[in-house]
């Protein structure tokens, strides 16, 4: 009876984590002809936004500017989770074009694709160190029951890999650095449910900033003063929230019970948070679009929709 109860609790925890989209990737859908030239942003913004979409049937990397949309990858495999390098000249993304998911790097225009990781495990959901010399990513390890996750750093010059925070022995994923390189925000799982953590990179010690599960994907603001993250604590689905780096001052940014709001990223000036939103649960159903929320007023502004699943925005 004890064993049955334990498995029931673990299954509930896995379902709970999946419900908040902390680590899910959408399956491919049937392709449909799309005229990229006809797809324009609904709001005039400055800069460049990378994102992932399956608008042509499988996941590819796209670039959105005020002038329109451009396709940066075109491969039968799934290209996902694009991230700008600190200088804006390179893009890291994950792909299973070689079999397992690995990290690849390309130029800002989509040329010069090279494979960066050669892990025996799936590698993905990466970010750049603030100085651009390394990439941090998540390795997915197969276990007897399910998977566990661990964050790894890759030195681009030497190819050396290391555990990012070896003192955190439970599952840890989705790394994001503070601008000053001192803090690492990440999503961690103790026993049941995912929560937001930060680690002090000078000591390797970490602390939990949220409680109760259902919170993930922290992103530091450009000045390092605030963290945007996802939480389902208010409506049971998912909203964009803000908090201070010590976990205080929690504030709900999106208050839309009819939608699931995920994958926050900051505008370069820190005035907006870009995020993905859908009216059906990600990743298996419905259309997902890009939106902005103005931090000072909480006004939500539709930004772009291809009619497919547009997710993982990263803005420079």
Q: How confident is the model at residue 4 (pLDDT cuts 50, 70, 90)?
A: very low
Confidence check: pLDDT of 18 > 60: no
Q: How confident is the model at residue 197 (pLDDT cuts 50, 70, 90)?
A: very high
Percent pLDDT > 90 in the chain is: 78
Higher-pLDDT residue of 71, 15: 71
Q: How far apart are CA 142 and CA 149, in angstroms?
A: 9
Q: How many helices (H) and strands (E) does the chain have?
A: 1, 24
Tokens 């700008």 sit on residue: 84
Residue range 97-119: mean pLDDT, rounded: 96
pLDDT at 19: 36
Does the predicted model carry a pTM greater than 0.75? yes
Q: How confident is the model at residue 24 (pLDDT cuts 50, 70, 90)?
A: low
Q: Contact at 8 Å (CB) between 81 and 52?
A: yes
* Cα dihedral 104→220→177→206 (10° resolution): -130
By three-state DSSP, how is residue 46 classified? coil
| DSSP H/E element including 5 | helix 2-19
Q: How far apart are CA 146 and CA 238, in angstroms?
A: 24
Main-chain dihedrals φ then ψ at residue 15, nearest 5 degrees? -65, -40
pLDDT at 164: 95
Q: How far apart are CA 54 and CA 31, in angstroms?
A: 8
Query: What is the residue extent of each domain of the chain?
Result: 2-315
User: Could you tell me how far CA 256 lies from the centroid of its own chain?
Assistant: 21
Cis peptide before 283 (omega within 30 of 0): yes
Q: How far apart are CA 193 and CA 17, in angstroms?
A: 5
Q: How confident is the model at residue 10 (pLDDT cuts 50, 70, 90)?
A: very low
Q: How far apart are CA 306 and CA 278, in angstroms?
A: 12
Q: How far apart are CA 41 and CA 27, in angstroms?
A: 25
Look up residue 19 and give its two tokens: 């419900």
Q: How far apart are CA 167 and CA 161, in angstroms?
A: 16
Q: Are strands 310-315 and 147-155 parallel, antiparallel or unpaired?
A: unpaired
By three-state DSSP, how is residue 307 classified? coil
Q: How confident is the model at residue 32 (pLDDT cuts 50, 70, 90)?
A: low
Fold of 2-315: Neuraminidase (2.120.10)
């Amino acid at each position: 009876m004890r064993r049955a109860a334990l498995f029931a609790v673990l299954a509930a925890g896995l379902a709970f984590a999946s419900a908040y989209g902390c680590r899910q990737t959408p399956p491919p859908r049937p392709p449909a002809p799309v005229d990229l030239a006809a797809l324009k942003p609904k709001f005039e913004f400055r800069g460049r936004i990378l994102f992932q979409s399956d608008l042509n049937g499988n996941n590819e990397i796209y670039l959105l500017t005020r002038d329109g949309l451009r396709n940066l990858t075109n491969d039968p495999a799934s290209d996902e989770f694009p991230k700008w390098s600190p200088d804006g000249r390179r893009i890291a993304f994950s792909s299973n074009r070689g079999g397992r998911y690995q990290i690849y790097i390309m130029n800002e225009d989509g040329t010069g694709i090279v494979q960066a990781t050669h892990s025996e495990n799936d590698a993905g959901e990466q970010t750049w160190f603030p100085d651009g010399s390394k990439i941090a990513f998540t390795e997915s390890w197969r276990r007897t029951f399910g998977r566990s996750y661990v964050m790894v750093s890759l030195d681009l010059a030497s190819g050396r890999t290391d555990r990012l925070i070896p003192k955190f022995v439970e599952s840890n994923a989705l790394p994001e650095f503070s601008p000053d390189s001192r803090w690492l925000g990440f999503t961690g799982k103790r026993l049941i449910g995912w929560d937001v953590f930060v680690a002090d990179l000078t000591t390797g010690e970490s602390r939990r900033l949220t409680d109760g599960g259902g919170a993930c994907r922290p992103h530091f603001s450009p000045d390092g003063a605030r963290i945007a993250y996802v939480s389902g604590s208010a409506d049971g689905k998912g909203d964009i929230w803000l908090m201070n780096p010590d976990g205080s001052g929690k504030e709900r940014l999106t208050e839309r019970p009819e939608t699931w709001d995920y994958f926050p990223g900051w505008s370069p000036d820190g005035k907006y948070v870009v995020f993905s939103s859908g009216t059906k649960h990600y990743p298996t159903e419905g259309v997902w679009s890009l939106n902005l929320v103005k931090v000072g007023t909480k006004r939500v502004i539709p930004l772009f929709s291809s009619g497919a699943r547009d997710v993982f925005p990263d803005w420079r």
